[in-house]
Amino acid sequence: MKNSLLSTLFLLLATHMSCAQENHPPLIETPTEVDYTYETIVDGIDIPWGLAFIAENDFLVTEKTGTLYRVIDGNKTAVNGLPELYVRGQGGLLDVALHPNFKENNTLYFTLGMHLEGEEEGGNTALYCAQINGTELSEVKMLYKAVPNTKKGQHWGSRIAFDQEGHLYFSVGDRGNRDENPQDITRDGGKIYRLNLDGSIPNDNPFVGNDAAKTAVFSYGHRNPQGMTVQPKTGQVWVNEHGPMGGDEINRIVGGKNFGWPVITYGINYSGTPITDITAKEGMEQPFYYWVPSIGPSGMTFSTSGVYKDWQDNLFVGSLKFEYLERLVIKRDKVVKREKVLDKIGRVRNVIEGPDGFLYVAVEGKGILKIVPKA
């Protein structure tokens, strides 16, 4: 029985990997000589998740177990005033992002695991806003909370991004309930949500007018989106999300679209058994890109500044599983090259482009690193 299961696992992985190799460029290992190095900007953060710059030497970092740090000139101070959060498994204090008009209103947004008084046991992902003054939060307000609660520890999401039209997007994973949540627009989980900056529902959200739907939902059929960014030239929101064993994806988000999980996937169960026998279906979106085997993607950004030789407009994605930063070169709407950056650096949780044009990388157990070109 054990040998039969192993044989099935290897056959399924070989089939998927063959497909991936036909359509995907091979991953280039980091060369012996590279034209960049890195500096540690701040250390002593176990699981740095969210990262948002207030100014060039002033930024916010979330630590998953429940601390929001403000880092000024490399010195970190805990920020007071967070609501009590629910920490379980992959959940805790997750992303942080600044209001597009932060300089005028000092407003920030953050996502976290939450259990509200009077609710059933467990928790789910919630989105909050607050004002920050120095290291104090005030006017803390919950804008959205996914329901129902669950004691499961997996697939909370969660990332935050803003489009160019004044909308906020955030992600919630399927919360370990793939059979009910992702494909049902009446339920939270496995979704990308879109709100106005004040937390209200945009009138043109795709399911407004559907009394049975969660009208904050923008797209569905997602598994666990832990990377989100806006393509600077098109303004479109891109996400990356964890697949099961194989089938991590990059998706370009379109309102009202179904991204397929778990009806279609390029992955299989961790036990080696198939989830489904199809990778495409009418009415369901194909990923822009997928990984087989899985890399455990987390965090994602485009390099736009020209600070680095040959990296402008490239996409960067962190790998939790293989502990490197991946550079993806996109031409003619297709990934044409993949390369490891900072190989074996540790579990890369996030990557963003700072106001100075440099890439900043959040690495578990290390803190925040800055990639610096060699002179």
**Would you state the pLDDT for residue 24?**
83
- CA distances (Å), 191 to each of 117, 130, 239, 271, 312, in order? 25, 24, 11, 25, 30
pLDDT value of residue 30? 77
- What strand order describes the sheet that includes 315-319? 27-28, 334-341, 324-331, 315-319, 297-302
Write out the DSSP string of 297-338.
Answer: EEEEEE--S--STT-TT-EEEEETTTTEEEEEEEETTEEEEE
What pLDDT score was predicted for residue 23?
A: 56
Going residue by residue through the chain, which has 375 residues, state the pLDDT in tens, using 9 for 90 and above: 444 444 444 444 444 444 444 458 999 887 767 899 999 999 999 999 999 999 999 999 999 999 999 999 999 999 999 999 999 999 999 999 999 999 999 999 999 999 999 999 999 999 999 999 999 999 999 999 999 999 999 999 999 999 999 999 999 999 999 999 999 999 999 999 999 999 999 999 999 999 999 999 999 999 999 999 999 999 999 999 999 999 999 999 999 999 999 999 999 999 999 999 999 999 999 999 999 999 999 999 999 999 998 999 999 999 999 999 999 999 999 999 999 999 999 999 999 999 999 999 999 999 999 999 997
As for how many domains the chain has, the answer is 1
CB atoms within 10 A of CB 139: 11
Domain extent, residue 133, equals: 2-373
pLDDT digits (tens, 9 = 90+) for 311-359: 999 999 999 999 999 999 999 999 999 999 999 999 999 999 999 999 9
Pairwise CA distance, residues 298 & 239, whole Å: 10
Which one of the listed residues 16, 115, 155, 242 is annotated catalytic? 155
In tens, the pLDDT along 152-193 reads 999 999 999 999 999 999 999 999 999 999 999 999 999 999
Dihedral sign computed on CA atoms, order 62, 63, 67, 71: negative
Site of tokens 């999401």: 157
Dihedrals phi, psi of 360, to nearest 5 degrees: -115, 135
CATH of the domain at 52: 2.120.10.30
**Among candidate residues 48, 45, 123, the one with its CA nearest the CA of residue 88:** 123
Element at 17 (helix H, strand E): helix 2-23
Tokens of 168: 């906020």
Residue 33 CB-half CA count within 13 A: 0
Judge whether 155 counts as a catalytic residue: yes
What average pLDDT is seen over the chain? 93
Count of CA atoms in the C-beta half-sphere (13 A) of 159: 24
Give the integer Cα–Cα distance in Å for 42 and 57: 11
What residues contact residue 234 under an 8 Å CB cut-off, 6+ apart? none
